[in-house]
Structures are given as structure tokens and as C-alpha cells.
Amino acid sequence: MKDWGYSILKGRQIDFENNDFSIAEFVAQHEPSFKWCIGCGSCTATCSAARLTNFNPRKINLLIQRGETKGLAEEVAKCMMCGKCQLVCPRGINTRNVIQNIKRALNTCHAL
Amino acid sequence: MTKTPQHIIIIGGGPAGLEAASCLGEVGYKVTVLEKEEQTGGKLRLWYKLFPGFRPSGEVREYLANGHKMNPPEIVTKAEVIRVDPEIDHHQVVLADGQTLKADAVLIATGFQVFNAEKKEEYGYKIYDNVITSVDLEAQFISGNPLKTVAGVAPRRVAFIHCVGSRDKKVGNVHCSRVCCITGVKQAIEMKEHLPQAEIFNFYMDMRMFGQNFEELYIEAQQKWGITFIRGRVSEIAENIDGSLQLKAEDTLSGRPMRMNFDLVVLLVGMVPAAGTEALGKSAGLAFTSGNFLASNDTHFFQNETHTPGIFVTGTCREPLSVAETLTDARAATVRIISWLREKELKSNN
């Protein structure tokens, strides 16, 4: 069929009922501090990768918890594992291990 | 001749009024507490456990009832005060039944009432059966019955909505009711204890954990009880055909709108001044805050004094306070009343 270049816009709404929480569950199971985030943003403020790209560790954490994981592999690949985020986190989240487990989850939950 | 002790009338027999009564009684004043309900204890009677330590509210009621054994105040129930007429020498307190009482000092402790959630029609209170308030939930906890939806099943997913009737110009309340945040954390934990399988979500604008051990309890709610906090004010609730509720909010930290289904929604209703406080305050020539609470004479130095000498205010009729803060405020008011009465006595002796 001819592609006319038109499509139906997918809503921007987070659809909690139909989203996939397998990555969130995997990460929370292996690094429970993943769920302690209060969204302060200090991780992103100090993040070396965020200075150069649109990488945002606070938002990644949140979106995974909402079951929004599209493009996640590409996002976490921007992390350089420097660990500055872990030094500033007021809730004591093991952010590096969170990222590691997101990567593990991506390999186990979604065979990419 | 023994001197007649000076007489203090306290309007309101809740935590503030009763604590002030026992403190004033201790130093020998004649104290009368006027309570409009049949029982004293105020809103404590509606609460099951208190934040942040889950103390049964009955313990505080018991403490208040036993606080004035040495010189118990006269407690008059079913006594509704409609007016206070300030005079130079003493004040006249007028009751609904026409009776007039004379006092050297008057302490207003009329407390609060909860915001009427029906005014936030978009949340569907009294429209959708599975939308309840934090006060309804306390009544449910007091009853000891298992928590169920109207359909008679245990809710699997529960939402707590913060700031209902607070920080909301649409309903005329710009003020923060202060205690609802920690109440939401407390009730979410209690809910999880009742329903370990349920998923619990709190929708908030800011989490205002100002008191001792409040932040700790908030952390515990996340870490130990797995409660999820979503930053965003709920815009509306609609009922699905099966009686469950669809809720819309923006997840402001991701900048995305979201919708979710819930079996039960709890509205954390804020505080507004008790009915009659406005009329009472006006009769005594008092000023009001933007939230229509009774205004203090000064925000730092004279919190318990009003603009009318000899008329004092304490507790949640002057601003939203926790139970612990209310008791502290009542004790502070006592000190001010004593010094004012002593000064008055000295002047009359000279």
C-alpha cells in the first residue's frame, strides 16, 4: 500500500493500565533503592552525560516506574558510569547499580 | 475575705480548649469550658490513630480528660456560644439559649471543620460511591470492619488525593492545611497494613513534611510499604461502568498526562474554620486571616492575643495545626492569659 506519510498520532498520555512494568519490577527487585526517588533532580544536575546530551537519569527512573520504556536502551547507553549522581543523591539511591540493572533488564526482559 | 478567683471562659472543648483549661486550673483560676457538642474531645473523636507514631487518639482524649484533677474546670456541654460582647472590665459571652456569662478573659478555641469535599465536584464525592474522604476512612478504621469497595471486594488499587480544599483558589482556600500531607502518608501505610496486596498511590503537589519524624515516615512509606508518590494534582475523576474510577493527572516530573484506574479514592480534605467562628469573631471585633481563621495580634510575638484585649485565641481556629502543635499552642496561650490577668489585677488594686 502506498505510504502517504500520514499516521494516527499516538496519545502522549501515560497509559498505566496497558503499560509494561517488567523492567521496573526487575530493577526494583535487584536494586530496591530504585523506588526511593523523590524527583529532586540533583543526579541530573551533576550528571556528566547530561551536560553534553539530553540524558536525564531522574526522568529515566520515573518513566521506567510508569512503564514507559520506549527508546530506553539508547538512553541508558549515554551513561558513563562516573557515579557522581550517587554522591549527590539525598535518598541514598545506588544509582549506578540502578543503571546496571536497567541494562540487565533490557537484556532479560526484552530480547533486543 | 478570700478573694474570688478571676474567671476565664474557654469556648470549645477540643484538645486546645481542654489543655488550656487544665493549665489554667492548675494555677487556681476559675475556668468554664463551653462545648457545643454533647461530648468534649472535638475532632479527636473522629480519628483512629494519630501521626506520625500511630498513637491511638483515645490516649490523647484520656490525657485531656485527666489533665485537670486538682482544680477541674466547669465543663458545660451543648452550650453554643453565638456572641462575645467585649467590655472594658469584663467580657459577656452569650449562648444560643439566651444565657449570658461574665468573664475576665475569654479564650476562643473553636477549632476547625473539614473542607466539604462536595465542593470539588470534579472529584465526585457523594456522586461516585468509591470516592471517600480521609475522615470517612478514619471512621472505617474505627469501625474495625474490613475495607471494601461498594461492590464488596477488597480494593486492589487505591489513590490518595492531597490538597483537597487546600491551596486552591477555586474553592476560596489559598492556605495550606499542613496536616493532610502527613495524614496521607499515615493513612496510606494503614491502608497497606489492612490490604497488603493493594497498590497505593498518593497524588501530591508538594510533600510538606515539616514535623518531627514526618519525613522519616514518608521515607518509610516508600521504602518499607512500597507506596508510590506521584507529583501532580488530579484534574478529574470519572466512574467506569464497573464502578471503578478513572483518574486523570499530569505526572509533572515527566511532563506527561496520565490516566489510571482505581478501586477506591481517598480525598485528603483540608481544614477550614469551624462553623460559627466567623460570626463569633465579628461580634468580638476580631480580625481574620485570608483563610477566614481568627487572626493573631502579631505573627511572632502575640500569636494567642487578638486585637481585642482580654480575648485570646488558640488551636486550629487561628490556623491549621497538628494535635501536638495544638496542645503546645494551648499551653502558650495559658501563659499569656495569666500575665494579662495579673496585670489587670494589679491595675485594679492600685
Instruction: Please check whether residue A72 touches B, CB under 8 A.
Output: no
Residues of A with Cβ-Cβ distance to B253 under 8 angstroms: 39, 58-59, 62
Looking at residue B305, the DSSP 8-state letter turns out to be B
User: Is residue A33 one of the residues assigned to a domain?
Assistant: yes
- Round to the nearest angstrom and report the end-to-end CA distance of chain B: 19
Asked if A33 contacts A92 with a C-beta cutoff of 8 angstroms, the reply is yes
Quote the domain boundaries for residue A68: 22-109
For chain B, the helix, strand and coil percentages under 3-state DSSP, each to the nearest 5: 30, 30, 40
Tell me the domains of chain B and their CATH numbers: 7-111+274-349 (3.50.50.60), 117-270 (3.50.50.60)
Mutant choice from B206, B229, B246, B254 vs A, greatest count of A C-beta within 10 A: B254
Contact assignment for B253 to A62 by CB distance below 8 Å: yes
Cα–Cα dist B309/B84, whole Å: 13
How far from B169 is each of A99, B290, B313, CA to CA, in Å?
A: 42, 11, 26
Asked if residue A35 belongs to a domain, the reply is yes
Q: Which of A15, A35, A68 sits opposite B222 (nearest CB)?
A: A35
Asked, for residue A11, whether it belongs to a domain, the answer is no
DSSP B342: H
C-alpha distance from residue B130 to each of B114, B118, B125, B349 (Å):
19, 14, 8, 64
Furthest-apart CA atoms within chain A: distance in Å: 54
Strand B245-251 relative to strand B256-262, pairing = antiparallel
Question: Is the predicted ipTM greater than 0.95, yes or no?
Answer: no
CATH of the domain at A93: 1.10.1060.10
> What is the number of domains present in chain A?
1
Judge whether A12 lies within some domain: no
Distance of CA A26 to the CA centre of its chain: 13
Proportion of chain A in helix, strand, coil states, percent, rounded to 5 = 50, 0, 45
- Nearest chain B Cα to A31, which residue? B223
pLDDT digits (tens, 9 = 90+) for A56-102: 999 999 999 999 999 999 999 999 999 999 999 999 999 999 999 99
Question: What number is the average pLDDT over the span A15-25?
Answer: 92
Is residue A6 in a domain?
no
For residues B47-64, b (16+ Cβ closer than 10 Å) or e, as one string? bbbbbbeeeebeebbeeb
The closest CB to that of B256, out of A14, A35, A36, belongs to: A14
**pLDDT score, position A112:** 42
- Here the cell at position B127 is 456522586
Chain B residues touching chain A at CB-CB below 8 Å: 207, 219, 222-223, 226, 228-229, 231, 251, 253-254, 256-261
- Does some domain include residue A1? no
Alpha-carbon gap, residue A87 to A89, rounded angstroms: 6
**Structural domain contains residue A90:** yes
Q: A35 and chain B: CB distance < 8 Å anywhere?
A: yes
Cell numbers for B290, please give them.
485570608
Q: Is residue A36 part of a domain?
A: yes
> How far, in Å, CA of B16 to CA of B291, rounded?
20
Series of mean pLDDT values for 10-residue runs along chain B (350 residues): 81 97 93 96 96 97 84 93 91 96 97 98 97 98 94 96 96 96 98 96 97 97 96 96 95 93 98 96 96 96 95 98 98 97 87
